[in-house]
Amino acid sequence: MANYIGIDIGGMSIKAGIVDENGKILCKDTIVPRVKEGQDAIAKDMFDLCENVLAKAGMKKEDIAGVGFGSPGTVDTERGLITFAANLGFNKFYLLKEFGKYWKVKAAVGNDANCAALGETKFGSGQNKQNTFFVTLGTGVGTGFIVDGKILTGHKGGGSEGGHICIRMNGEKCSCGERGCWEAYASATALIKQTEIALQKNPDSIMKECLENGKVTGRTAFEGARRGDKTALKVVNTYAKYVATGIVLLVNVFRPEVIMIGGGVSNAGDILLSRIKKYVSRHCFGNAKINPVPQIEIAKLGNDAGIIGAASLVME
């Protein structure tokens, strides 16, 4: 059985795991990247991480058929180039070339959300499907599309940035600099802001009892809604509509078989999922009475989607 290494690159940590051909993680490890020391240092960090995980698993380099990398930002997969990733300070980082200085092995790199989409499609909620859409609701809104069994990357890797479709003209300012982006309404960051505003206007809301160390989190509104608080329910209903609005726009373009929702907010479960399903069913082009509406599922692989998806890049 062939084994692979998947590396999930983040600004706060880099995770790596040995993944078998069935998508099972055999061993994994994490390091904190030396972001301030530059791109070369991070390439060495990733090689050291590979050696660490191999040692933990009792394996050698010869036991690994390939190494895949998932990175934030714009990724030119053909040239092994991370064109730009702001949080990591990557600017025209030829990752595969730099990593190759330490280990000559079959390797590939892709956008992290695309990798997660691939992992979920091969081994998670999208198994046996050819057309899927993955959305992660976290600090931002990341998206990945599998079309006819292949990752949709766009020209020079610049596509699949679904978080930056506009759902409201001249709306909320987005971290990208534009206004009205889906991310500005459907991210965990946006949900926290919406919850804080609701609490300011309704200080007697039960949500006040749901704070964590005195702070609003992405869980606060959902916890209040489960306890029947009207203000919390209004926040949840509005937020679910924002999430579903972006999904509808993308369904009308791609019409996938299944939509997989991941990220920290997805842990809310059915209180969020049921509302999204209802809105999408009603508002997709032709609605459910005419056109097939995609399945909408909570992603199954959780925090391991990035590792498994990165490894999937180099699977035969």
Residues 116 and 144 both lie in one domain: no
Residues 207 and 278 both lie in one domain: yes
What is d(CA 222, CA 204) in angstroms, rounded to the nearest whole number? 16
Residues 179 and 224 both lie in one domain: yes
Count of domains in the chain?
2
Q: Would you call 251 exposed, middle or buried from its count of C-beta atoms within 10 A (0-12, 13-18, 19+)?
A: buried
What pLDDT, on the 0 to 100 scale, is given for residue 303? 85
pLDDT tens by residue, the chain, 316 residues: 899 999 999 877 899 999 999 999 999 999 988 877 778 888 899 999 999 999 999 999 999 999 999 998 889 998 998 988 766 778 888 999 999 999 999 999 999 899 999 999 999 999 999 999 999 998 889 899 999 999 998 887 778 889 999 999 999 999 888 999 999 999 999 999 999 999 999 999 999 999 999 999 999 999 999 999 999 999 999 999 999 999 999 999 999 999 999 988 999 999 999 999 999 999 998 776 677 789 999 999 988 999 999 999 999 7
Expressed as residue numbers, the domain containing 102 is: 3-122+304-312
| Nearest alpha carbon to residue 294 among 258, 261, 247 | 258
- Residues with Cβ within 8 Å of 2's Cβ and at least 6 positions away in sequence, in order, are 20, 21, 65, 315, 316
What pLDDT, on the 0 to 100 scale, is given for residue 39? 81
Residues 87 and 18 both lie in one domain: yes
Residues 99 and 149 both lie in one domain: no
What is d(CA 298, CA 309) in angstroms, rounded to the nearest whole number? 16
Residues 248 and 181 both lie in one domain: yes
Residues 143 and 256 both lie in one domain: yes
Residues 69 and 207 both lie in one domain: no
> What tokens does 298 get?
């909570």
- For residue 284, the Cα-to-chain-centroid distance in whole angstroms is 23
Q: Specify whether the CB–CB gap between 311 and 2 falls below 8 A.
A: no
- The amino acid present at 189, given as its one-letter code, is T
Residues 191 and 266 both lie in one domain: yes
What pLDDT, on the 0 to 100 scale, is given for residue 110? 93
CATH of the domain at 110: 3.30.420.40
| 3-state secondary structure labels for all residues of the chain | CCEEEEEEECCCCEEEEEEECCCCEEEEEEECCCHHHCHHHHHHHHHHHHHHHHHHHCCCHHHEEEEEEEECCEEECCCCEEEEEHHHCEEEECHHHHHCCCCCCCEEEEEHHHHHHHHHHHHCCCCCCCCEEEEEECCCEEEEEEECCEECCCHHHCCCCHHHCECCCCCCECCCCCECECHHHHCHHHHHHHHHHHHHHCCCCHHHHHCECCECCCCHHHHHHHCCCHHHHHHHHHHHHHHHHHHHHHHHHHCCCEEEEECHHHHHCHHHHHHHHHHHHHHCCCHHHHCCCCEEEECCCHHHHHHHHHHHCCCC
Residues 308 and 282 both lie in one domain: no
Total-model pTM: 0.87
- Residues with Cβ within 8 Å of 219's Cβ and at least 6 positions away in sequence, in order, are 210, 212, 267, 268
| Nearest alpha carbon to residue 63 among 55, 73, 72 | 55
What pLDDT, on the 0 to 100 scale, is given for residue 86? 67
Residues 139 and 89 both lie in one domain: no
Residues 292 and 308 both lie in one domain: no
| Nearest alpha carbon to residue 66 among 149, 117, 6, 145 | 6
What pLDDT, on the 0 to 100 scale, is given for residue 73? 83
What is d(CA 300, CA 264) in angstroms, rounded to the nearest whole number? 13
